[in-house]
Amino acid sequence: MIESLIKAQAYGLGFDLIGIARLGPAASTTAFDAWLERGYEGEMAYMSRTAGKRRDSRLPFPAAKSAIVVGMDYGGREPSGPVARYARGDDYHDVFLERLRELHARVDEIAGAHVEGKAYVDTGPILERDLARSAGLGWFGKNTMLINPKRGSFFFLGELLVDLELQPDAPFETDHCGTCRRCIEACPTGAIVEERVIDSTRCISYLTIEIKGEIPREFHGAMSEMVYGCDVCQDVCPWNDKFASTLREPAFRARRAIGDKDAPTLAREILAADDEHFRVAFKNSPMKRAKLRGLKRNAAVVLGDAER
């Protein structure tokens, strides 16, 4: 079967999870619309701007008939620290897109002809977790992360939409969170306002990465150890405690500028950095999204709490 050959090639390229989904209306549209109506996207205006396409996975790339959905682990066994694990190495967008384009080339070889396709990694107008659940890769945890029963949640998602009628995998229909509320109770800012609903405007990842202005003072104490991003809701998840993997992909290893530094040390170095140092030290890093100005803002908050 062509599906088995495609999956074998995907595993060979270093992906840890692979599933195939049929394209169509997103099952989580109602929840997504309610999230937008409550203003939980904050300054991420692109979520509302592209909402129409996000509601139906056939719209971003109309030629496509199927989605090959992949996941790649980024090392949930690495020690916690002031930078979220996903952001310590090279930008996952670049790593993923390169692998997905190679997968596309191999799909062409398997099909014996060029297959129209388009790769997406986080930046396209797609409700990726919805598509991944449809491809059988996991369920939505109460912290909104996609959780796989054999890998936990420390993995990236990406999709290759293709003009092929592929046999889809069975959707992941069950919920394995049970009565557990560890992620909700552990969130430093109370951003998980109810099961599977995050108010992004309270989330430390959003506050340290997405907003352009100052971080509201009410959250300063909660982010005293976090310079960029936050892993708390994943750290406390029992599925990660049991199934998170050690880091295997070299591209995601922590760069020298981050290493195993504690929050005050990293914050002081960031505050002392100039544009040239930032450009060199964080080349190809996802942390460039916040720009040096944003990182200095975060560092100032961390040091302000550390030195009280």
- Determine the Cα–Cα distance for residues 56 and 212; give it in Å rounded to an integer: 30
User: Is 120 domain-assigned?
Assistant: yes
Residue keyed to tokens 């670049």: 94
Q: What is the pTM of this model?
A: 0.95
User: Is 130 domain-assigned?
Assistant: yes
Q: Using an 8 Å Cβ cutoff, are 72 and 16 in contact? A: yes
| Tally of domains within the chain | 1
Q: Which of 122, 163, 235, 305 is catalytic?
A: 122
User: Is 268 domain-assigned?
Assistant: no
For this structure, is 163 an active site residue? Answer: no
The letter for the amino acid at 147 is I
Residuewise pLDDT in 10s, the chain (308 residues): 899 999 999 999 999 999 999 999 999 999 999 999 999 999 999 999 999 999 999 999 999 999 999 999 999 999 999 999 999 999 999 999 999 999 999 999 999 999 999 999 998 999 999 999 999 999 999 999 999 999 999 999 999 999 999 999 999 999 999 999 999 999 999 999 999 999 999 999 999 999 999 999 999 999 989 999 999 999 999 999 999 999 999 999 999 999 999 999 999 999 999 999 999 999 999 999 999 999 999 999 999 865 55
User: Is 41 domain-assigned?
Assistant: yes
User: Is 142 domain-assigned?
Assistant: yes
- Determine the Cα–Cα distance for residues 59 and 125; give it in Å rounded to an integer: 9
User: Is 206 domain-assigned?
Assistant: no
- Determine the Cα–Cα distance for residues 102 and 193; give it in Å rounded to an integer: 40
User: Is 23 domain-assigned?
Assistant: yes
Range of the domain at 142: 2-162
User: Is 207 domain-assigned?
Assistant: no
